Every structure is written in C-alpha cells, then in structure tokens.
Amino acid sequence: MRRLTLLFITILTFASCGDEVEFNSPTIQGNLNYQLWRAEYFNADIDVNGFLTIKGGNNVETLELRIPSVAVGRYILGDVDSMEARFTAADGTVYSTNNRPDESVTIYPEYGEIILDEIIDNTFTGTFGFNAFDASGTRVINFGGVTTQNPDTPTDDPITGGIFYRVPLTSGSFPAVVFTCADAEEATDLAQAAFDATTSSDLIYINSDDYITACNNLSLALETERTYCGDLNQSLMNRILQLNECVFPCSLATQNRNTAQTTFEGAIITNYIDLCTEYQFYLQQQIDFCGDADGSIQAILDDLDCGDDDLDGIPNAYEDFNGDGNLDNDDTDGDTIPNYLDDDDDGDGVLTINEAVDDDGLPLDTDGDLAFDYLDNDDDGDGILTQFESGDTDGDGILNYLDDDDDGDMILTADENPDVNGDGDPTDAVDTDGDGIPDYLDDM
C-alpha cells in the first residue's frame, strides 16, 4: 500500500524582495505546500453562536479558519468539528482538517492549530499551521514551514505555517458574553457534581428521573467542552460514552429494589401500605431497567396486596387471620362480610377506623384479652358488649365502652352484675336500690 509521509514543519525563507514577509498592513499568508500563498482579500465574521471565521482568498483559492470563541488562545484542529481549517483549491476540491486521513496515509503531525494572538480595534491577528484532506482522505494540502516577520533576522518571531494580521471584522458582532474553553470546563465540573449527587451514598433511593436529567445535562456539558476545548486524547468522548446514553443502570435499579424489599420486610400495620406501594414501585423499576426474563420479579409483584379495600385503616394483608391466603373466609363478627370488606370487623358499632390505637397508631387491646379492640366486641372486658355502652357516665373522659368502671365508684363494672344472663346485653342488669339506674352506672 502506498504510504505518503508529510512533514508539517519545513524551514522556508522567502528570499526575494517581492516575497518578503513583513506585516505592516492587514494580510493572510503562509506556506502552502512549500510555496508562498497570499490572500488578495480577507475578512472576519462572527456568527450567531459566537464562532469566529477568518477568511481569505484570491481569484481561484479560498482559505477559511474557524474557531468557536472570539477569545485569544490556541485552538487544536482535527479532533472536533467546531475548530476547522478549510482550503478550496483551484479545481474546486475542498480540503478540511475535519476530514481524517485514509489508512494508507501517514501524517506527521496529524493535527494542526490556529492561534489567536490579538484582538484589537475589531481586527484579529494570529498564526496557523495544518494538514487538510479531501473527502477521500487520500489527498492533502499542507500549510507548514517557517516564516519570519523579517527575512534578515530569521530567528526573530518565527511563524510556523501562516499568519493572519489585523484581519478586520466585516460581518456579525462580538457577543455580549464570550464563552470560552474555561467557561465550558467550569460548566462541566458543575454538571459532574450535580450528577454525582444523584448517586450519593447519603440517599436511601437513587431517583431515576433525577439521574437521567443530571446525566443528560452532564453529557451536554461534555459535548460543549469538546466544542470549545477540543478533545485531542478523546477523554471527553470516553466520558460521554461511559454515560451509556444516560439509561438508568440496572445495578442502581437492583440496589433500589433491595433497599425497598428490606424496608418492606420491616413494615408494621401503620406503614404497611406506604412501604408496600414503595416496594411495588421499585420492583417495576427493576423490570423496566433490568428486564425480567424468567418472570420472577413480576410474580412477586402479582403476589403483593398493598390495598385497604374497606378503608378501615387495616391493610388487606393484615385481615387474613387464619393465614391461608384467602381473605374471603375471615369474618370476625359473622355478618357474612369478610373483614377486608367490613368497616366494622367486630360488629360492635364502632367503626374499625375509630377503634382505639396507641400513640404510634397501632391497634390497642384495652382489656388485655389478646384481641385488639377492632376485633373485640367487648373492648373493656366488662361483660357488656361495646354496642350497648354509650356515653361517659362518670365524666372521667373515658367512654363507657373503654371504661371498666363506668360509674367511677371504684367497683369494676364486671363486679356489679351488669348482665345477669351473660348475653352481653345489660337490660337485665341489677339495680339494687331500685332507683332505675343499674348498679354498674350508679355511684350511690
């Protein structure tokens, strides 16, 4: 295979008087394939994005130098599209530093540069040097060699490739704020910090929406940094590729699911529904981002019951008292309505949602008979069914159905013969003094 080797740096001094390189007036010129090339016209343009293009040409050839900032600095050509040198030859062939060389071509060095040294009075001064290829990557032109501002003193201010001197701005205007490589690097640092925060070890769960948003912002910042700074070693592009198009990682989805499962396994009656719903969410997230080839995750989802069908404050999962997995055969009060559909599970006239709870919202067992009040039709264990105990006879702030001494006479209600026949109905209660007030409600 034919190998073509070009040397980017060649020492060439213009010796003739007509070719002296002295810059006392605006110009663009340089060594094109070891021959002096000069522009007969030249101008500079700033586009709406703030990109600067310096252009020069003669009757048959055109040179364009484009950089992404109107800022003094060194811009490397050949690795990003925003920094480009383009030369249109007399035969119409376009050579560009953004065209990469064919594998059959060896170039040293492969990359070029534009150095903007000075901006003064709406003019631009700097130097350039590069190899540019046609679309096939097999033909190349070279702006190389070394010129000086004074041929009599060749060591004075050497210029590699070419120079543009005091080229005037003829189109566009300076942006109100010039965005530079330094600005792009700062923006990337901020975006990286925001992205890192979405996976902080301080977080219980990694929010997929926050992750994806921050990831996309970081990817955009990295692309912007490439535009304004270049990416000669491809480190920025590698960081972009490592983001995997900002798809939420399966590893993080699995981490979320495991956390939710552990938390759910510690649920109690008061937080069961919330933790169950949370577990459902992260199981589904795991399916969305990891898949579920064997259906095992979906099976767990299908088995979860996070509901409270009768809205009595007791999750369905806590209303399967016999533990057989069938909610329809649990009916505490025997009214043919299963507990999970019955808003008064014990049929005592007090809605389950209004039954006594402790400070943490957990059901109470007022009489200590090992039956929570919402399942106990005699909550205070005084022998009178809750449905027959209304009011607060002794005014102690404890309703009769929760008060084991309804009249406050220091004799327990159960010891005052409130229900002689033992059916829980106090209509047969003893009234010793015959005053029409049964003893368990009479403090005299």
Between residues 150 and 407, the one the model is more confident about: 407
Tell me the per-residue pLDDT of 190-225, one tens digit each, with 9 for 90 and over. 999 999 999 999 999 999 999 999 999 999 999 999
Model confidence band, residue 169 (pLDDT cutoffs 50, 70, 90): very high
DSSP 375: G
What letter does residue 240 receive in the DSSP assignment?
A: H
Give the CA angle between residues 414, 420, 425 to the nearest 5°. 80
- Find out whether 31 and 147 touch, Cβ atoms under 8 Å: yes
pLDDT for 403: 77
Q: For the purposes of burial, counting CB atoms within 10 Å of the CB of 103, is it exposed (0-12), middle (13-18) or buried (19 or more)?
A: exposed
**Rounded-to-integer distance, Cα 440 and Cα 15, Å:** 129
Contact between 404 and 380 under an 8 Å Cβ cutoff? The reply is yes
What average pLDDT does range 366-385 have in this prediction?
84
Q: Give pLDDT, residue 377.
A: 85
Gyration radius of the chain over CA positions: 43
Kindly list the domain boundaries of the chain, sorted by start residue: 4-171, 181-248
Cα(320)–Cα(301) distance, integer angstroms: 19
pTM higher than 0.85: no
Which candidate, 194, 193, 182, 195, places its Cα nearest to that of 224? 182
Give me the residues paired with residue 94 across strands.
88
Tell whether the model's pLDDT for residue 125 goes beyond 80: yes
**For a pLDDT cut of 70, what percent of the chain falls above it?**
89
What is the mean pLDDT of the segment spanning 93-121?
87
- Residue 146: the pLDDT is 54
Asked if the model's pLDDT at residue 367 lies above 50, the reply is yes
What mean pLDDT is predicted for residues 222-236? 95
Q: Considering only residues 151 and 28, tell me which one the structure prediction assigns the higher pLDDT.
A: 28
User: What are the angstrom distances between the C-alpha of 416 and each of 69, 250, 413, 419, 440?
Assistant: 97, 68, 5, 9, 5
Asked if residues 161 and 31 have their Cβ atoms less than 8 Å apart, the reply is yes
Q: Between these two residues, 101 and 180, which has the higher pLDDT value?
A: 180
The predicted structure's pLDDT at residue 392: 78
Residue 270 CA, distance from chain mean position? 32
User: pLDDT tens-digit profile of 28-63?
Assistant: 999 999 899 999 999 999 999 999 999 999 999 999
CB atoms within 10 A of CB 81: 12
Give the strand pairing for 62-67 and 94-96: unpaired
342 pLDDT tier (thresholds 50, 70, 90)? confident
Share of the chain above pLDDT 90, in %: 58
Q: Give the mean pLDDT of the chain.
A: 87
Q: Does residue 98 carry a pLDDT above 90?
A: yes
Of 280-294, 346-360, 377-391, 420-434, where does mean pLDDT reach its minimum?
420-434
With a cut of 50, say whether residue 109 has pLDDT above it.
yes
Weakest mean pLDDT among 47-51, 344-348, 421-425: 421-425
pLDDT surpassing 50 at residue 156: no
The answer to whether the Cα torsion of 237, 238, 241, 242 is positive or negative is: negative
